[in-house]
Amino acid sequence: MTSQLPIVIAGGGPVGVVTALALARQGLVVSVFEAEGRIDDSPRAATTHAATLEMLEELGLREAVTARGLIEPKFRIWDRGSREIVAEFDFAALKDDTPYPYVVQCEQHKLANIALARLRTLPNATFAFSSRVTGCTQRDGAVEVEVETPGGTRQVAASYLIGADGGRSTVRKTLGIEFEGYTHPERFLVLTTSFPFAGAFAECSRNYFSDPDEWAALFKVSGDDGRGLWRVVFPAQPSESDAQAFAEAAVQARLQKFFPKAGDYPVVHRNIYHVHQRVAAAFRKGRVFLAGDSAHVNNPLGGLGLNFGIHDGIELSSLLGRVARGEAPAKILDDYDRFRRPLNVEYVQQQTIANKKRLEEKDPDVRARSNAALRALAADPAAHRDYLLKASLIDSVRKRRAQAA
């Protein structure tokens, strides 16, 4: 009886939609409920790493995502004060490790929309906008999910519920699962400009600038018209209000200080947000699972959060598929929490925390040592490759496969 009930997914963000597609392609019945009336297109994740591209290929999404994005094989770490490149990393070093030795810069709303269009072609999947999951109860081997829709509140019976409902997850809160970790005191300011950064930045569109006073990150995305937009990320001062950070004069001054040029910057989007390093104390309770930002959040330096969230969804859909087909007992579902939580801590939390610390380091001696270590790492082919295997999450996928073997 339970197996005939749909798997319900709370949240139609990129993780919810990709997970739904991975489940529905196996013939499982899936219903996605998305609280908002449309896919959120605010500027958030864009970097899609090699390990994720391999998974998107399996789902038949990689080509479309690549076509709507930009391929970038390199990233550079600069010293902002001296304007010197400290180290350049090139994913070409992974040419024997992956068919995709680069990242694809494709904004996350494009991925969600591409996956949603595919999902809508499958008869065993439904997707409803303006439908907010407000609670759930587990009983008799099923989950009763409460959903607020424009037509009123519905109770939906589900075999399993996946909370892919973002960092403020209602599902996680309903389960009473702690979101352990901390919030950085400063927020991150993202300014998106159509100014075509040229020269050194045209050679490499992912750039990180370490600086004791104001680090920065500069990267290119293709934009909705494919003509290219640049996003510049700065730490805001902890005391800075939205109005102060967004004021035109302040925005222009920040950008001009970063990269002086004649005339104002055309700024097409400004965004400021809190940054957290948090991991849910458990990724599963009974028949309810957490995936993506509902399970873990981190700073965006390294572009790892969404990638790992997609990996969650792929792993969970594979485990649920095997159980549904009777290929494995239901106890394999324990592996989801058992392995994914520590993997997130090891690969996503540790790397993003280290990336931020390196960019903002204030002690000149520590900065000098850290820069020297980075230079040496980039110059040594074996160390270079090892570093990129972690940065691209290939290592975390390999580790998980070895655990499963």
Residue 124: half-sphere exposure toward Cβ, Cα within 13 Å: 15
Least distance between ligand FAD and beta carbon 288 (Å): 13
Give the whole-angstrom CA distance, residue 214 versus residue 212. Answer: 6
Answer left, alpha or beta for residue 185, where phi above 0 means left and psi between -120 and 50 means alpha.
alpha
Least distance between ligand FAD and beta carbon 6 (Å): 15
Least distance between ligand FAD and beta carbon 8 (Å): 10
Least distance between ligand FAD and beta carbon 263 (Å): 26
Task: Give one DSSP letter per residue of 189-220, joined into a string.
Answer: EEEEE-----THHHH-SEEEEE-SS--EEEEE
Least distance between ligand FAD and beta carbon 220 (Å): 12
Closer of 105 and 159 to ligand FAD (Cβ): 105
Q: Are 148 and 131 in contact (CB under 8 A)?
A: yes
Give the whole-angstrom CA distance, residue 331 versus residue 319. Answer: 10
The single residue listed with the structure tokens 């989950």 is 143
Q: For the sheet containing 288-290, what is the strand order?
A: 125-128, 30-33, 7-10, 160-163, 288-290, 284-285
Give the whole-angstrom CA distance, residue 122 versus residue 384. Answer: 42
Q: Are 147 and 33 in contact (CB under 8 A)?
A: yes
Closer of 231 and 367 to ligand FAD (Cβ): 231
Closer of 273 and 339 to ligand FAD (Cβ): 273
Closer of 12 and 235 to ligand FAD (Cβ): 12
Least distance between ligand FAD and beta carbon 75 (Å): 11
Least distance between ligand FAD and beta carbon 334 (Å): 22
Least distance between ligand FAD and beta carbon 167 (Å): 6
What does DSSP say about strands 216-221 and 206-210: parallel, antiparallel, or unpaired?
A: antiparallel
- Residue 180: Cβ within 10 Å count: 11
Least distance between ligand FAD and beta carbon 142 (Å): 19
Give the whole-angstrom CA distance, residue 318 versus residue 404. Answer: 12
Closer of 172 and 367 to ligand FAD (Cβ): 172
Closer of 141 and 185 to ligand FAD (Cβ): 185
Tokens for 395, please give them. Answer: 């290592």
CA-CA distances (angstroms) from residue 94 to 73, 89, 297, 315, 386?
10, 11, 27, 23, 9
Residues that bind ligand FAD (CB under 6 A): 10-16, 33-36, 40, 44-47, 108, 132-133, 164-166, 170, 190, 273, 292-293, 300, 303-307, 309
Closer of 15 and 324 to ligand FAD (Cβ): 15
Least distance between ligand FAD and beta carbon 299 (Å): 9
Tokens for 68, please give them. Answer: 């709507």
Closer of 86 and 164 to ligand FAD (Cβ): 164
Closer of 206 and 287 to ligand FAD (Cβ): 206
Closer of 47 and 371 to ligand FAD (Cβ): 47
SS3 label, residue 342: helix
The single residue listed with the structure tokens 């996503």 is 348
CA-CA distances (angstroms) from residue 192 to 75, 210, 223, 338?
19, 20, 10, 39
Least distance between ligand FAD and beta carbon 48 (Å): 8
Tell me 301's DSSP state: T
Closer of 16 and 235 to ligand FAD (Cβ): 16
Residue nearest to ligand FAD (CB): 13
